[in-house]
Amino acid sequence: MHAELIGASGIQAEYARVPLADGTLVETPQVPNDDFVPSLLAASDVLGTSWFAADAAEAGPGKIVAVVGDGAVGLLGVLAATQLGAHSVIEAVGRQGSMMQAIRATHPGVHVGYVGVSHNVQLPGEELFFSGVHLHGGPAPVRRFLPDLIDRVLRRQIDPSKIFDLQLLLE
């Protein structure tokens, strides 16, 4: 596998040079209507990363899922899920406190999917060993999920465009 990090501000542009684009870009079945473009853009970044986090955490129907990193609502959700016994936890911050909160919001056998870019997170070995928690995450393999996500968007099963609330000209 060859991975090349592109700075976050460098790819949110009208034009971009994408190294090894043949392996990273995904063609839609047809040219999408303009109203699909925001959803497809979200699918290629935010939704794909979230989907991977949920997949890594083995989230699913009927499971209680706690999310660390969704502002105050997410943090309160973790506290509530801790009391209920979360089945899955998604860590989306990458800081020491958020990772430990995600691990401690679980019980043995729970899966933690982490996608927050690590900022010198140090996991305490003995606590992690005895927690019985499954950790899976890292850079999201969004390309793996894109065919399914594109299909869901084009069939209007999901609409991730709602994350965009303001559009500005590049000028």
Q: What percent of the chain has pLDDT over 90?
A: 26
Residue 26: inside a domain, yes or no?
A: no
* Cα–Cα distance for residue pair 93/116, rounded to 1 Å: 4
Which range of residues forms the domain containing residue 147? 35-155
DSSP helix/strand/coil, 96 = helix
* Overall average pLDDT of the 77-90 stretch: 63
Residue 59: inside a domain, yes or no?
A: yes
Tell me what pLDDT residue 163 has. 80
Residue 74: inside a domain, yes or no?
A: yes
* Cα–Cα distance for residue pair 42/35, rounded to 1 Å: 13
DSSP helix/strand/coil, 65 = strand
Q: What is the domain-level CATH number for residue 48?
A: 3.40.50
Average pLDDT value for the chain: 81
Residue 144: inside a domain, yes or no?
A: yes
Residue 23: inside a domain, yes or no?
A: no
**Cα torsion angle, 3, 8, 9, 15, sign:** positive
Task: Give the bridge partners for 125, in sequence order.
Answer: none
Higher pLDDT residue, 108 or 71? 108
Higher pLDDT residue, 86 or 29? 29
Among the residue ranges 3-17, 33-47, 50-64, 113-127, the one predicted with the least confidence is 3-17
* Cα–Cα distance for residue pair 36/25, rounded to 1 Å: 17
32: pLDDT strictly greater than 70: yes
Q: How many domains, the chain?
A: 1
89: pLDDT strictly greater than 70: yes
State the pLDDT confidence band at 80, using cuts at 50, 70 and 90.
Answer: very low
pLDDT digits (tens, 9 = 90+) for 98-123: 899 888 888 888 899 998 888 899 99
Tell me what pLDDT residue 136 has. 93
Q: What percent of the chain has pLDDT over 70?
A: 79
Burial class (CB in 10 A: 0-12, 13-18, 19+), 119: exposed
Specify whether the CB–CB gap between 47 and 25 falls below 8 A.
no
Residue with tokens 């899966």, as numbered in its chain: 111
Q: How far is CA 68 from each of CA 40, 76, 80, 98, rounded to the nearest angstrom?
A: 25, 9, 12, 6
36: pLDDT strictly greater than 90: yes
